[in-house]
Structure 1
Amino acid sequence: MTIQRIGVMTSGGDAPGMNPAVRAVVRMASSLGLEVMGVERGFQGLMESAFKRLTVRDIGGLLSRGGTILQSARSEEFKTITGQRKAIHNLNAAAIDGLVIIGGNGTHQGAYELSRHGFPIVTIPSTIDNDLCFTDMTLGVDTALNTVLDAIDKIRDTASSLKRAFLIETMGRDSGYLALMSGIAGGAEVIVIPEAPMTLAQILEGIQAQYTLGKPHSIIVVAEGHRPSTQEIYEYLHAREQELGFTVRMTILGHIQRGGRPTAYERLLATRLAVAAVQNLHAGNYGVMVGLVGNKTQLTDLAQVATCHKKVDLDLYAMANMLEFGRAKTIPTPLPTPTASRRANFGEMRPKTTKEELPPEAF
């Protein structure tokens, strides 16, 4: 099959890095003599034939812009077999020969369904949760992490001035990656993630241990998916402020984590993955996700990506606890074996994959 016109779409939650990826797709396709059609509003756009031509002139300034110019939307219709067939019909009617899809877990499940119907698909991982297997990093993570870290630094200023304990909630419904990494980088006194749930009493003990060690304030970073929830933790601690030694405040960072100018790393990662996606689609290598492993692009079959969920590395969680509670030992530190940790990070199955070095002109 000869690829002459490709589509590009963004789906799922928006993430910094999506726009730079769209830009690189258009530029790389142009260098190969391919036309590019942008699909607006994700899978819903496939249902509505919401296609528009994208040229190099249309993508000026995207490197520094957060969000996605193609927008994103959910589509219940696409989840049906009839909807998926309609999507392929609309793509064929627009003479689109292949599709680059940028998104997270749900997006990759949808991309896999399209691929099963025989349509050429190459995906780019993009989610601030960094919970897609077979890639070290996803688009959006670095920028979101820096946004959270900036908030922690600023909140610590006021916490230290007023002798307070601050609960800071990060995004992460099923993954504690943002909470763990920002907590380590921000020197949080307690880190609370779904992968290593803590009881209310354990959280209280952790803060008390820091108070006993002479800390004049406390930062507790909580992933939103943890149970008990951030609100429940706050109510429990607030009722025990006398016992705790600190007054307690809560900050929910919310959607600020999804916005903002992509970092330099984000822009480079988006460019590398997008260039590799277009190159492989053009070469006939599709039904795959382009990830980054060991600083090299790597192709993984969509069937494996769609059925795998990456968990955080609990060795890092244990390290964080050792740094803060090495002597107090009030916080449980689950220590999986290195093998188990690697499985948690990359999934149970390691496929035979292809690693490709990108040419210098990719940047």
Structure 2
Amino acid sequence: MRILVTGANGFVGSALIPILASRGHRIRASVRRPGVTPVPDTVVTGEIGSDTDWSRALDGIDIVIHLAARVHQMDDPADPDLVIGAYRRINVEGTRRLAESAAAAGVRRMVFVSTIKAVTENSSDTPVTEETPPAPETPYGISKLEGEQALEAVGARTGLETVVLRPPLVYGPGVGANFLRLLTICRNALPLPLGAIHNRRSLVFVENLAGAIACCAEHPAAAGGRFLVHDGKPLSTPELIRSLAAIMDRPARLFSVPPVLLRGALTVIGRGDAYDRLAASLELDDRHLRRTLGWQPFWSQEDGLRLTAEWFNASADLTNGTS
């Protein structure tokens, strides 16, 4: 099949394209700006929005996999209206425009890679499923849920097959943002007051996510579906830190602070959100994906963490000029 991948040179796209190629698909990449192109057939579309011209990118395409998105920005403006507007321009209006253009071009299916944040930021005592009522809390999560709804509305109106995939935190070689900071902390063996945390968080290795995306693009039973995906084994934050530190041959310097005191201290300094990311549970149940599409993760979580930590160690050694 001819598949268009938006955001193709990003973290997930870089893992997805080789998997699609290995399965015999012909790939066209959509990127925001000129530069390194992941495949010879690459179209520069600029920042996507309500007026993006997708005609060249969609010519002859059977399936669209939509990865391009505005993700959480550390420098988001303080005005909440400006923040949500910036997310909606790309994640909602941009998605709607692409879906409408795809339907008009005769595309059969569009796979939208969303996020579990479109549903919730935590799972309390019950794992999140596809039946959990969405209650997003952040501009990013709100905009991704609205993007899902915009896509499905276009599908209902035009007959375009739609598939929504909601991953949790994605990790792997090349990862950035918070997971990269965690790798740095583990390599430097910095002490952390997280020893008393007993949460459960689902993760997904980027190669496993890429395999699930390919499955959603190919499987007939995926049409019209919403699916969760993860590696299959939730970890507590201390377990994750200990695993990464052990792979890096570093001590995990964890000490215990009562969670209520830790939350209070972080809230006082304006970092209450950091406590939620580190201490809250966000456990997924992805049996719907596994039963409906027959998907199984190719990589174990242990191997995924090992490959990620080894990549980070090698990158750090190269930067520091060591071996």
TM-score normalised over the length of structure 2 = 0.43
Higher-RCO chain (CA-CA 8 Å, sequence separation at least 6): 1
Structure of higher CA gyration radius: 1
TM-score normalised over the length of structure 1 = 0.39
Structure with the higher strand share, 1 or 2: 1
